[in-house]
Amino acid sequence: MKKIFTLLFATAMMASAFAQYGQKDRGGGNRENDVYASNDNYGYDKHDRDFRGAYVFTARERDMQIAQINREYDRKIYAVRNRPYMGWLQKKRMINTLEEQRDNEIQEVIYRFRSPKNKFGDHKRNKKDRW
């Protein structure tokens, strides 16, 4: 019975080890193949006046950063609320300060998304006179 169990366990371990494929096949840390870190400049010429300081910041990246900020500050606020040797007024002040910091960081992310330097959704790159 031990031999059968050991054989099944070894087979399961081997199968799970081979099931974790694809990380090396899809670039393996090669930044040239990364969608968000690509260097193709989305059709902008380096000497174009509009390109200086431009970047691409997608709506998905914005939402992910806002979610990360919310998780981080929720954790900090939870930690403050559960401090046993702190008065309620100190807790309230610290929580208000943390919420203001959270709002400021979220506003920075939104400003970065709405910035004119953000070329996400810029239709100049699709300027093709087809007709």
Report whether pLDDT(76) > 60: yes
Quick one: DSSP state of residue 86?
Answer: S
Q: Would 26 be classed as within a structural domain?
A: no
pLDDT at residue 127 in the model: 54
Q: Would 81 be classed as within a structural domain?
A: yes
CA neighbours closer than 13 Å in the CB half-sphere of residue 57: 19
Q: Would 40 be classed as within a structural domain?
A: yes
Number of folded domains in the chain? Answer: 1
Quick one: DSSP state of residue 55?
Answer: B
Quick one: DSSP state of residue 44?
Answer: -
* Cβ-contact 119, 56 below 8 angstroms: yes
Quick one: DSSP state of residue 118?
Answer: B
Domain residues for the domain of 72 are: 35-125
Q: Which range among 57-61, 71-75, 111-115 has the greatest average pLDDT?
A: 71-75
Taking residues 107-130, report their average pLDDT.
74
Quick one: DSSP state of residue 119?
Answer: -
Q: Would 72 be classed as within a structural domain?
A: yes
Q: Would 6 be classed as within a structural domain?
A: no
Q: What is the pTM of this model?
A: 0.54
Q: Look over the chain and give the mean of its residue pLDDT values, rounded to a whole number.
A: 76
At which residue do the structure tokens 């081979």 appear?
18
Higher pLDDT, 81 or 24: 81
Q: Would 16 be classed as within a structural domain?
A: no
Q: Would 106 be classed as within a structural domain?
A: yes
Q: Would 10 be classed as within a structural domain?
A: no
At which residue do the structure tokens 């081997």 appear?
14
